[in-house]
């Protein structure tokens, strides 16, 4: 299910291709190169739902408080699945009264039984489930981190509780690619450093033809993409800020995607609930037919 990096011409050509006008065509082409069946659905499970002001998430946003959470996603194939993001750790979230131990348990079962698990970036609220797992040895066998993600986890993670030593790091699968890498039929990783050095997005094309981009934290709220407004600098201080030029390019690309492609920022729980209601995403995980 894991292919090597797709090298498009020389190094310079590969870098020019990222987020250029022809980039989507390249991503779509890469999605079809690995043999096998397309995924059939993308499921989502959020263990905790809290509210946060749009002003915290988007520059110039209103003080209105909206639902947010720390979801994990399941790209479901006829047999087996790929996980995208691993949610927050129970202990790290311990003051959060909305936290559901039942949903948390289900996320960890899904991570344990996945064929492959990737994260949109190396912040603890996305990667903790791969590092502080109750099924750690099983999860490490198929957890695929990028070299950039691993470097941050070894050197300066945003939470000391997810810091890795080199012996533990060696138990994970680590890859490097630029700018894209197909990992299964219909699933392509898109390198997106900016929010963090190891950030990436995940393009998905389902058997039905539906296309989604799991965008991680390029934006925290869909209005950041719609209005092309970044996160307030004050809100990104705690993890050392972002590469705003790179994020600007990614926000532009996401906004200009054709309307049939659904963009899912990880923390916008209101949007996620709307997408579940419209059957674009599926609520919960299907853990049969591993």
**DSSP three-state, residue 86:** coil
**DSSP three-state, residue 123:** coil
DSSP state of 237: G
Cis upstream peptide for 92 (omega within 30°): no
Applying CB under 5 A, which residues contact Zn ion? 125, 217
Residues 6+ apart with CB under 8 A from 138: 112
**DSSP three-state, residue 79:** coil
Q: Which is nearer to Zn ion, 78 or 241 (CB)?
A: 241
DSSP state of 135: T
Q: What are the helix and strand counts (H, E) for the chain?
A: 12, 14
- The rounded Cα 272 to chain-centroid distance in angstroms is 14
Q: How far is the CB of 56 from Zn ion (least distance, A)?
A: 13
Residue 181 corresponds to which tokens in the numbers above?
A: 């890498």
Spatial distance between the Cα atoms of 228 and 221, rounded to a whole number of angstroms:
11
Spatial distance between the Cα atoms of 101 and 46, rounded to a whole number of angstroms:
11
Q: How far is the CB of 34 from Zn ion (least distance, A)?
A: 28
Residue 229 corresponds to which tokens in the numbers above?
A: 């407004």
Q: Which is nearer to Zn ion, 211 or 217 (CB)?
A: 217
Q: Which is nearer to Zn ion, 89 or 217 (CB)?
A: 217
Q: How far is the CB of 119 from Zn ion (least distance, A)?
A: 10
Residues 6+ apart with CB under 8 A from 140: 130, 171, 172
Q: How far is the CB of 41 from Zn ion (least distance, A)?
A: 23
Spatial distance between the Cα atoms of 286 and 161, rounded to a whole number of angstroms:
30
Spatial distance between the Cα atoms of 161 and 157, rounded to a whole number of angstroms:
8
Q: Which is nearer to Zn ion, 72 or 184 (CB)?
A: 72
Q: How far is the CB of 92 from Zn ion (least distance, A)?
A: 12
Q: How far is the CB of 266 from Zn ion (least distance, A)?
A: 6
Q: Which is nearer to Zn ion, 48 or 217 (CB)?
A: 217
Q: How far is the CB of 234 from Zn ion (least distance, A)?
A: 16
> Which residue has the CB atom at the shortest distance from Zn ion?
217
Q: Which is nearer to Zn ion, 38 or 70 (CB)?
A: 70
Q: Which is nearer to Zn ion, 204 or 219 (CB)?
A: 219
């Amino acid at each position: 299910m894991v292919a090597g990096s797709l090298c498009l011409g020389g190094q310079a050509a590969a870098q020019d291709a990222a987020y250029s006008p022809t980039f989507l065509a390249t991503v779509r082409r890469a999605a079809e190169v690995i043999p096998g069946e397309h995924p059939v659905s993308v499921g989502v499970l959020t263990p905790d739902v809290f509210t946060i002001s749009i002003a915290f998430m988007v520059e110039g946003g209103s003080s209105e408080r909206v639902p947010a959470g720390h979801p994990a996603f399941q790209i479901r194939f006829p047999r087996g699945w790929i996980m995208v993001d691993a949610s927050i750790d129970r202990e790290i979230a311990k003051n959060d009264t909305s936290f559901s131990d039942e949903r948390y348990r289900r996320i960890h079962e899904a991570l344990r039984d996945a064929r492959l698990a990737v994260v949109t970036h190396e912040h603890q609220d996305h990667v903790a489930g791969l590092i502080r797992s109750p099924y750690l040895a099983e999860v490490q066998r198929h957890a695929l981190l990028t070299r950039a993600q691993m470097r941050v986890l070894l050197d300066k993670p945003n939470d000391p509780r997810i810091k890795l030593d080199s012996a533990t790091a060696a138990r994970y699968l680590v890859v490097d690619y630029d700018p894209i890498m197909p990992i299964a039929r219909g699933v392509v990783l898109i390198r997106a450093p900016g929010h963090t050095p190891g950030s990436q997005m995940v393009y998905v094309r389902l058997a039905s033809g539906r296309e989604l981009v799991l965008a991680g934290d390029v934006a925290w709220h869909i209005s950041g993409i719609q209005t092309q407004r970044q996160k307030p600098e004050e809100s990104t201080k705690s993890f050392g800020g972002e590469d705003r030029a790179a994020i600007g390019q990614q926000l532009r690309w996401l906004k200009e995607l054709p309307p049939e492609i659904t963009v899912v920022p990880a923390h916008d729980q209101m949007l996620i609930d709307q997408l579940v209601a419209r059957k674009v995403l599926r609520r919960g995980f299907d853990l049969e037919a591993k």
